[in-house]
Structure formats: structure tokens, C-alpha cells
Amino acid sequence: MTTEIVNIHDRQKLNWTVTSILALLHIGAVAALFFFSWRALAVSAFLLWMATGLGISMGYHRLHTHRSYKVPLALEYFFAICGALTLEGGPIFWVATHRIHHQKSDQPGDPHSPRDGAWWAHMGWILMGESKHNNTRVLAKYAPDLAKHRFYVWLNDYHWTLSVVLGILLLWAGGLPMLLWAGCLRIVVGLHGTWLINSATHMWGSRRFETRDDSRNSWWIALLTFGEGWHNNHHAHPTSARHGLTWYEIDHSWILIKCLKWLGIAKAVKVARITSAVSEQEAA
């Protein structure tokens, strides 16, 4: 991987398009609290699991970015579609940004380090600057494995269309309450869950490994993000499909990956294990 770092955001400019969309989503999320229904809550929980759990944790992160395991291409594409429903950007942008983060974690060039400010790490880096979300040519150097697929190039450019279509379907199926809950509130919860990985897990929590960055393990963020909160474990073993390395470190995504492996769907699963306080990386 090249050592040249792309300046993804110019901190001097507020991206009004992104800011306006996020503001509307947050307003909708607050409004959802006044339109509660059990049906809307159930649909929201399912879509949160599908988009953030399957799409971000198992897809964008462990599969597309780190290639921690392999699945058939059709399932890989499905995980990417799920990830696009989070409005966290297309797969090429997400993967490129995260690979840069690992390359320069908590160093100059890290897109979202708390050393540049907690607010910046959480969402300031998204709000500020002319984002290169859709500049596939610029970002492809960090995700060449994805950029060679026409499907990923298309999804990177038009990822937002899936959320628009889903929003229309939600409004048609359940009216305004369903749109506010399964659309706005679900997206906002998923966004802040992922952003907490960028901010909180580089500031608070325990450290099992003395990594060169400030990564921490956080049990409550792990619960919110389907196992992604065991962030120090992840930075110590970035290609491991398993982030929770002990029995009490609940990692929902790892449980599902194990199920896929048992079914013969997931192969070449890479696992980091701890034995007698000594870590070792092995392929399962």
C-alpha cells in the first residue's frame, strides 16, 4: 500500500450538503420519539442489525477492509448493500478511509484521531471539508481490490439511492412513524455507534495490547456495534475476524462468522487467539 496520504477533508470548510442531511436525520430521530409503535421499533432493530451488523461490522470492516474471511461474491455484494444503508458512504470510500486510519492511526494523516479533538474524531471530520466520498479515482489506490469491481464503483457513487428507496418503502408500508423510526432514528443510532469507535475507543477503556496508537477496548460500545468495541484487540490483530478474544468479550459478528464457517459458507477465517497472556495469529 502506498504511503502517500490523501487529504480527505479540508478543515476550513463546512460541507453544507452533508451537514444539512445529518441535521434533518437528527431532527427526524428526535421526532420519532413522539411516534412510537412496537412495529416500528421491531423493524428499526432488524434494519439496524442488517445495516450496521451485517453491513458495517461483518461487511465493510472485517470482510471488505481487512479480508478477515472469504464468502461467495454474491454474499460479499449483499453485505456491501447492507453497509450502504447506513449512509456512512460507499464501500470504496469506507474501506479507503479505514485503511488510512490503520496506516496512520493517531498520527498525522489519520482521518479521525481524538488527538485532533474528540469532536473532530466523532463527527467533525465528516462535517468539515469537501469530502472525496465519490472520487473513486483518488480513493482506489487504497481499495484497488474493490475498485476493480464495477458493482463497487457504482455503489460507491450512488450508495445514497438505496436509502432513498428504502425510505419510500418504509413510508408506504408504515407511514410517518415507520419512516422516522426505521429511517431517521435507525440511521442516527448506527452512525453514532460507528463514530464512537473513531472517538471514544481511542480515549476511554482498557488496553490489553501495547499498540502504537491509543486504541481501547470498551464493552458497552461493543454491545452497541455488534462487537466492534474491542478496538484495542482489533488494532493489535487487524486481520482477525474475531475481535472479542475471551469468553466474556461478547462479539456478535464473530458468532455469525463462526456460523457461516460451520455451514461451509465462510472460508479462510483468520483468528487472533490469546493463550496464557501471549497472543498469536493463526488462520482457522
Per-residue model confidence as pLDDT tens digits over 243-278: 999 999 999 999 999 999 999 999 999 999 775 443
Using only C-alpha atoms, the chain has a radius of gyration, in whole angstroms, of: 18
pLDDT at position 273 is: 76
What does pTM read for this prediction? 0.91
Identify the residue whose cell numbers are 478496538.
231
Q: State how far the Cα of 126 lies from the Cα of 130, in Å rounded to an integer.
A: 9
For residue 69, give its domain range: 16-207
Whether 254 is in a domain gets the answer no
In the predicted model, is pLDDT for residue 11 greater than 80?
Answer: no
pLDDT at position 280 is: 42
Q: State how far the Cα of 88 lies from the Cα of 216, in Å rounded to an integer.
A: 22
Report which of residues 7 and 98 the model is more confident about. 98
Instruction: Note whether 63 and 56 are within 8 A (CB).
Output: no
Q: State how far the Cα of 258 lies from the Cα of 243, in Å rounded to an integer.
A: 12
Burial of residue 189 (number of CB atoms within 10 Å: 0-12, 13-18, 19+) = middle
Whether 153 is in a domain gets the answer yes
Instruction: Report percent pLDDT > 70 for the chain.
Output: 90
Tens-place pLDDT, residues 204-219: 999 999 999 999 999 9
Whether 140 is in a domain gets the answer yes
Tell me, what DSSP letter sits at residue 15? -
pLDDT at position 138 is: 83
* Residue 13 to residues 18, 186, 227, Cα–Cα distance (Å): 12, 28, 34
In the predicted model, is pLDDT for residue 232 greater than 90?
Answer: yes
Mean pLDDT, all residues of the chain: 91
Q: State how far the Cα of 31 lies from the Cα of 245, in Å rounded to an integer.
A: 39
Whether 90 is in a domain gets the answer yes
* Residue 141 to residues 96, 111, 170, Cα–Cα distance (Å): 8, 16, 37
In the predicted model, is pLDDT for residue 147 greater than 60?
Answer: yes
In the predicted model, is pLDDT for residue 6 greater than 60?
Answer: no
3-state helix/strand/coil string of 15-62? CHHHHHHHHHHHHHHHHHCCCCCHHHHHHHHHHHHHHHHHHHHHHHHH
Instruction: Note whether 250 and 222 are within 8 A (CB).
Output: yes
Whether 99 is in a domain gets the answer yes
pLDDT at position 247 is: 92
Q: Count of CB atoms within 10 A of residue 217's CB?
A: 24
Instruction: Note whether 222 and 251 are within 8 A (CB).
Output: yes
**How many separate domains does the chain show?**
1
Whether 143 is in a domain gets the answer yes
Q: How confident is the model at residue 129 (pLDDT cuts 50, 70, 90)?
A: low
pLDDT at position 131 is: 52
What is the mean predicted confidence (pLDDT) over 77-96?
97
The total number of residues shown for the chain amounts to 284
Whether 111 is in a domain gets the answer yes
Whether 269 is in a domain gets the answer no
Retrieve residue 65's grid coordinates. Answer: 477492509
Tell me, what DSSP letter sits at residue 5? P
Tell me, what DSSP letter sits at residue 69? S
Identify the residue whose cell numbers are 495490547.
209
What is the mean predicted confidence (pLDDT) over 155-174?
97
Q: How confident is the model at residue 140 (pLDDT cuts 50, 70, 90)?
A: confident
Identify the residue whose cell numbers are 469468553.
247
Q: How confident is the model at residue 5 (pLDDT cuts 50, 70, 90)?
A: very low
